[in-house]
Chain A
Amino acid sequence: MELTRRNVMIMGTGAMVAFGLPMAANAAGEDLIEAFTGGAEMAESGVTLTAPEIAENGNTVPIEVDADGASEIMVLALGNPTPPVATFKFGPLAASHTASTRIRLAGTQDVVAIAKMKDGSFAKATKTVKVTIGGCGG
């Protein structure tokens, strides 16, 4: 294919459309975060997100979230077709603001945990989880 400026632009747009999906999910993720925090600043510390560096299998990935003093923690998988994963609301009898669960990840991506603290402030933690497709029977 001749590399004219026109062709490169068309190829570029094509690529944008082809890769539009994760970009859309990312945008959706951004919107959800915005809605949760009301646009407030998020501290870099205050919430811990534990997830494997490489998921044994994307269908069942164990994660843990922990935020001392949080009333709510929202978890998003930015690379999934739909980013929301779970939201944990802690009641008066929660002994700690910690929760563990198992999630599905469609591919290698960033998993995000946003904690809403009792004092109304927010904190964010991000973890990149690699999800691979196996060689045989995987």
Chain B
Amino acid sequence: MIRKMITVGALGPLLFTAGAALAEAVEDTLVVNEDIEMTTRTDAPEHLSDALDEIMSGWHFRGTETRAMQADDFDNPGMIFVEQARDDWSEVVGTEGNSCASCHDEPESLAGVRAVYPKWNEAAGEVRTLEMQVNDCRENRMGAEPLKYTGGTMQAMIALISSVSRGMPVNVATDGPAESTWEEGKELYYTRTGQLELSCANCHEDNYGRMIRADHLSQGQINGFPVYRLKNTKLNSVHARFKGCVRDTRAETYKPGSPEFVALELYVASRGNGLSVEGPSIRN
């Protein structure tokens, strides 16, 4: 299907008319550093095929300048935090005298990891997010304090781990021991909550591409997390975003790191199976 390229400029007049204005996702390709080719649009995964034909990265829903900022690691301010995390990576902390490098060598050795998280951890008997795994390493292998889940230091590390997987397709397991967690996440995704009685699907599946006031609704994919948001000029985590979305429906929101959000993250990640890992990405 050929879509016309609609620049944000041309949409200008549309945005201020009453009612929902349809603003198509932009036709464009993302190649980072003239080197990493990103798959930002692809066929929807099997489990989603009755709801969506095509899945698209949030990149397609942002303006021209924002999309361009992500195409170069220098222009992308999220990469400053990746650099900071590289320093943290080699720093010895905790009682065991280890740094991340002691076991993991170079950050590049973790290529492919981000693409399959969240995933089932046999020894722990639970689905783990990357943040949970980082803290597990810190507490049990390094004898160090856990990092705040949505804090800057943790998210910089998640951004580093994501950055070495960029271009690789997201591929989280939805079956096997992770299945019940995945089902839980799916149920959360489709349940209406809050005073506004909205479910994730109401916006991100039923109305992506439309404007919600001045915001261009995306499919709510998380392949680009952690995200450097222009709005707060820092890296934002998946759970912080979930918390915000739930709060925006005027519901009691869950805590980052909670089992509900872990399940939701697994489910939402699976909706993006096939898209490239983009994190750290840039959004509004």
Contacts and interface: CB of A to CB of B under 8 A. Distances in A.
- Determine whether A and B are in direct contact in the complex, meaning some CB atoms lie less than 8 angstroms apart: yes
Interface of A: 52-54, 56-57, 59-60, 62, 130, 132-138
Interface of B: 8-9, 11-12, 15, 62-66, 69, 203, 211-215, 217, 229-233, 241, 244-245, 248, 284
A133 B213 contact: yes
Mostly helix, strand, loop or mixed at chain A's interface?
loop
B245 A56 contact: no
B65 A132 contact: no
A135 B66 contact: no
A59 to B, nearest CB: 6
B12 A57 contact: no
A130 B211 CA distance: 16
Contact of B64 (A52, A57, A134, A135): A52
Given A136-B215, A136-B245, A56 B15 contact: no
A135 to B, nearest CB: 3
B284 A136 contact: no
Nearest to B231: A57
A130 B12 contact: yes
B132 to A, nearest CB: 24
B207 to A, nearest CB: 11
Contact of B214 (A52, A59, A138): A138
A138 B230 CA distance: 10
Given A133-B213, A134-B214, A135-B211, A54 B63 contact: yes
A53 B65 CA distance: 11
A54 B9 contact: yes
| Of listed A53, A56, A135, residue having the most chain B CB within 10 A | A56
Given A132-B15, A137-B241, A56 B213 contact: no
Contact of B215 (A60, A62, A130, A134): A134
Contacts of B215: 134-138
B25 to A, nearest CB: 15
6 contacts: A52-B9, A52-B64, A56-B66, A133-B213, A136-B203, A138-B231
A135 B230 contact: no
Contacts of B229: 57
7 tightest A-B contacts by CB? A135-B213, A135-B212, A132-B214, A134-B215, A60-B230, A57-B230, A135-B215
A132 B217 CA distance: 15
